[in-house]
Amino acid sequence: MTKLFITFEGPEGSGKTSVIKHVKRYLTTHHINSIITREPGGIKISEAIRDIILDKNNTEMDAHTEALLFAASRSQHFHEKIVPELEKGTLILCDRFLDSSLAYQGYARNLGIDKVLSINKFGIGDHLPDLTIFIDVPPEVGLKRVFANQRETDRLDLETLAFHKKVYEGYQLLAKRFPKRIKIVDGTQSKKAVIADTIELIKPYL
Ligand code: TYD
């Protein structure tokens, strides 16, 4: 039974969603039962909250409201899906989690990392992922990829480059603050190398 909670973090266009799919394939070939889930979202209530947060028309959304909505979405996702799956022994691969809120709302939106941590603690208690993979891609590179791929953009993609630079700085601060939990992968390498490095970091936990 592999009771492991792994999260994937990174700026826009870091390629984490595709890396996660490859990790899942690796786990399946090694007979390890895993699921992929994502934030904000993963279940009905949290997906509904996601639609409100990312709606490009909601330009008037206050930063505090945004942080609370992410925390509410996370709390529901955590209690309804993550905890029961972990109890069953499923390995969880989660596309974004708490560190996204700490980097985007706490640091880039200037609400304060500790304040955002405390509203999240109200929702999920002291639970943290066992391992967090940070796919390190500078914001200029990531955003270029987002617009080149013509993936549909959302309210947060449309923030300024200065905002995305702050998100990136926020992640670097978090990696320094939680060095045991947050492991960094160089996301500017070839896709194959990014996947290989990620799997190497996960192996010791299996
Ligand atoms: P998503 O389409 O999932 O983006 P990506 O493919 O980059 O993961 O949109 C999620 C957006 O929400 C993304 O811009 C990051 C942001 N976000 C926060 O600001 N705070 C959070 O707590 C989470 C989970 C996401």
What's the CA-to-centroid distance between 157 and ligand 1, angstroms?
Answer: 9
pLDDT score of 155: 85
Each residue's pLDDT tens digit, 61-87: 999 999 999 999 999 999 999 999 999
Q: pTM score > 0.85 for this model?
A: yes
The reply to whether omega before 40 is within 30° of 0 (cis) is: yes
What's the CA-to-centroid distance between 31 and ligand 1, angstroms?
Answer: 30
pLDDT band (50, 70, 90) for residue 183: very high
Give the residue whose CA is nearest to atom 23 of ligand 1.
100
Ligand 1 atom at minimal distance to the Cα of residue 108: 19
Q: Angle at CA 65, nearest 5°, toward 63 and 66?
A: 60
Give the residue whose CA is nearest to atom 20 of ligand 1.
101
Amino acid at 19: V
101 lines ligand 1 (CB under 6 A): yes
Query: For residues 187 and 193, what is the distance between their CA atoms, to the nearest angstrom?
Result: 9
Each residue's pLDDT tens digit, 97-151: 999 999 999 999 999 999 999 999 999 999 999 999 999 999 999 988 888 887 7
Domains of the chain: residue spans and CATH:
5-205 (3.40.50.300)
Residues facing residue 186 across a β-bridge: 136
